[in-house]
């Protein structure tokens, strides 16, 4: 397993790094100079994956951050994009804009909130509604049933002020659309609704251009990006699920909107327009307000006690 293409290190360097590492959690071994060997290309390589454990430093923050920077500098572009998506958005903004980072529990004034790295014109929200696409059939007890994957059906983007600035219906061949009675009631779609839609390839290009330099506010973002066939790590996305969490798990959009705005946005057919607008309202009217008040301190379990009162609506 290659150590992120780090330049060759002396045995002394490796021993110094190893001495700053301690075990954490379930790991019982440590990477040491003995388990690292230079390969034919001149990079240090681990003898076994089992020897790579959680790199928690006993070193000073200055030394630890310096080591992490060296690793990041040696990542390839696609590796860096993937690595970036593993951070919460606030953590990424603190890396890019350390002057905006404020230590807790000091209140976060509006002028230094992490989101102020973007202008209002650069902040948008997006939502997708999906449809099941038939990709094949499986036979069980002589009966053929469709095998399906979720694909984007409609996509809407809202401005910071809550106006729809982008709206598309995706083209789907009616023969590939699979809708149960429940799905028809939930989405309001019929198999013929997508005949005049826009090819997904065109929509990907349009969204990529639209999102250039933008902060995208979403909730449950991973499934939407997957349905669109776009790589989430290539965009600046803040998922409200990073904030709105209670002891039982993430809180859905419908439950949040009912709690804060007393509106049931998904009582009938779901709408990408409505969902994107209320996603932005949650960000501007709730998230930003509470962050300015320094509320919702996260406990050791990674959940937020103040949200436990929010009732789940399915």
How high does pLDDT run on average in the chain? 74
State the pLDDT at residue 260. Answer: 95
Go through the chain and tell me how many residues it has: 314
The C-alpha angle 261, 263, 267, rounded to 5 degrees, equals 155
Tell me: pLDDT of 11 over 50. no
What is d(CA 291, CA 270) in angstroms, rounded to the nearest whole number? 29
What is d(CA 109, CA 101) in angstroms, rounded to the nearest whole number? 11
Radius of gyration of the chain measured on its C-alpha atoms: 24
Contact at 8 Å (CB) between 240 and 217? yes
What are the distances in angstroms from CA 106 to CA 50, 103, 259, 294, 306? 41, 6, 27, 7, 19
Helices (H) and strands (E) in the chain, counts: 10, 12
Q: Which residues contact 41 (CB under 8 A, 6 or more apart)?
A: none
For the ranges 16-25, 95-104, 210-219, the maximum mean pLDDT occurs at 210-219
Please state the domain extents for the chain.
Answer: 11-74, 120-307
The C-alpha angle 78, 83, 85, rounded to 5 degrees, equals 105
What is d(CA 228, CA 234) in angstroms, rounded to the nearest whole number? 13
Tell me: pLDDT of 146 over 90. no
Q: Which residues contact 300 (CB under 8 A, 6 or more apart)?
A: none
Contact at 8 Å (CB) between 129 and 121? no
- Residue 246: pLDDT band by 50, 70, 90 thresholds? confident
End-to-end CA distance of the chain: 44
Residue with structure tokens 């469709």?
146
CATH entry, 120-307, from 3.30.450.40, 3.30.470.10, 3.40.50.300, 3.30.420.10? 3.30.420.10
Q: Which residues contact 272 (CB under 8 A, 6 or more apart)?
A: 127, 128, 129, 154, 155, 156, 167
In 7-122, DSSP assigns E strands to 21-22, 36-38, 44-46, 56-57
Tell me: pLDDT of 55 over 50. no
What is d(CA 208, CA 231) in angstroms, rounded to the nearest whole number? 10
More confident residue, 270 or 2: 270
Kindly report the number of other CB atoms within 10 A of residue 54's CB atom. Answer: 12
- Residue 292: pLDDT band by 50, 70, 90 thresholds? confident
């Amino acid at each position: 397993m290659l150590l992120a293409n780090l330049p060759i290190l002396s045995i002394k360097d490796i021993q110094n790094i190893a001495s700053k590492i301690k075990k954490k959690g379930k790991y019982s071994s440590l990477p040491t100079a003995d388990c690292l060997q230079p390969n034919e290309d001149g990079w240090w390589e681990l003898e076994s994956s089992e020897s790579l454990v959680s790199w928690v430093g006993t070193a000073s923050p200055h030394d630890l951050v310096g080591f992490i920077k060296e690793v990041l500098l040696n990542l390839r572009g696609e590796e860096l994009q993937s690595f970036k998506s593993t951070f919460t958005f606030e953590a990424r903004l603190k890396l890019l804009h350390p002057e905006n980072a404020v230590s807790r529990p000091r209140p976060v004034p509006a002028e230094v909130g992490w989101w102020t790295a973007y202008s209002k014109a650069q902040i948008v929200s997006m939502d997708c509604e999906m449809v099941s696409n038939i990709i094949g059939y499986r036979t069980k007890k002589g009966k053929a049933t469709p095998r399906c994957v979720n694909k984007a059906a409609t996509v809407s983007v809202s401005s910071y002020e809550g106006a729809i600035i982008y709206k598309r219906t995706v083209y789907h061949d009616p023969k590939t659309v699979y809708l149960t009675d429940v799905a028809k009631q939930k989405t309001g779609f019929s198999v013929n609704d997508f005949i005049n839609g826009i090819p997904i390839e065109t929509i990907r290009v349009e969204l990529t251009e639209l999102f250039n330099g933008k902060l995208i506010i979403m909730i449950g973002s991973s499934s939407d990006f997957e349905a669109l066939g776009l790589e989430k790590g290539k965009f600046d996305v803040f998922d409200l699920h990073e904030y709105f969490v209670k002891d039982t798990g993430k809180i859905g959009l419908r439950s949040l909107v009912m709690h804060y705005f007393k509106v049931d946005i998904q009582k009938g057919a779901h709408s990408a327009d409505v969902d994107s607008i209320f996603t932005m309202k949650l960000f501007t009217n709730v998230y930003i307000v509470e962050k300015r008040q320094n509320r919702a301190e996260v406990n050791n379990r990674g959940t937020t006690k103040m949200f436990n009162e929010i009732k789940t609506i399915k």
